[in-house]
Amino acid sequence: MKRQFDSITPELIRQRKSVHELCRQYTRSPSKGNLKRLKSLFHTCGEEVFIEYGFHMDYGDNIEIGDRVFINANCTIIDGAKVANSKIQIGADCLLGPNVQLLAVSHDMEASKRLAKANYADDIIIGNNVWLGGGVTIQAGVTIGDNSIIGAGSVVTNNIEENSFYAGVPAVKIRAL
């Protein structure tokens, strides 16, 4: 369910700037200390989570990451603010390839309404043991079932069945796994 929020309030602008600076700091120096600071921004973060350089997110406080997750270089998570009450959940044992984008925020489709600059956030739920190939984009409102694979370069606009391989733009089911 899409939830509207205003991302240009002074509070949310300050929060985003602070989070963006920490992401830049981690990219410049991907030390254990900077990784620990980055992980502390998440709502929850499991054990043995590794995040490569180039990681970017807007807020972090509604992101839940399971155990043993690997996030490759240049991952971008556009997450809704806490006031949007949406979440991005990444299950245990997931692999996110380089340049993956999780885009939980969208805007109005109607041009006149878009002038108001409203943001709409919706959940992204990624099950356990999911592999997102390089350059995959996940849109708002999508759930990906356990043990599934999304082929490199795919754009996921609809829910993905568990134990399945999907690929393409938009992603379609190729076969069961």
Which superfamily, per CATH, for 3-176? Answer: Hexapeptide repeat proteins (2.160.10.10)
The residues that are catalytic are 107
Query: Would you place residue 1 in the very low, low, confident or very high pLDDT band (cuts 50, 70, 90)?
Result: confident
Q: Is the pLDDT of residue 18 over 90?
A: yes
Question: What is the C-alpha to C-alpha distance for residues 77 and 115, in angstroms, rounded to an integer?
Answer: 24
The string of pLDDT tens digits covering residues 33-46 is 999 999 999 999 99
Domain locations along the chain: 3-176
The string of pLDDT tens digits covering residues 156-168 is 999 999 999 999 9
User: What is the SS3 assignment for 21-64?
Assistant: HHHHHHHHCCCHHHHHHHHCCCCEECCCCEECCCCEECCCCCEE
Q: Global pTM?
A: 0.95
Q: Is the pLDDT of residue 100 over 90?
A: yes
8 Å CB contact between 54 and 82: no
Of residues 5 and 165, the one with the higher pLDDT is 165
The bridge status of strand 76-78 relative to strand 56-57 is parallel
What is the predicted pLDDT for the residue at 139?
A: 98
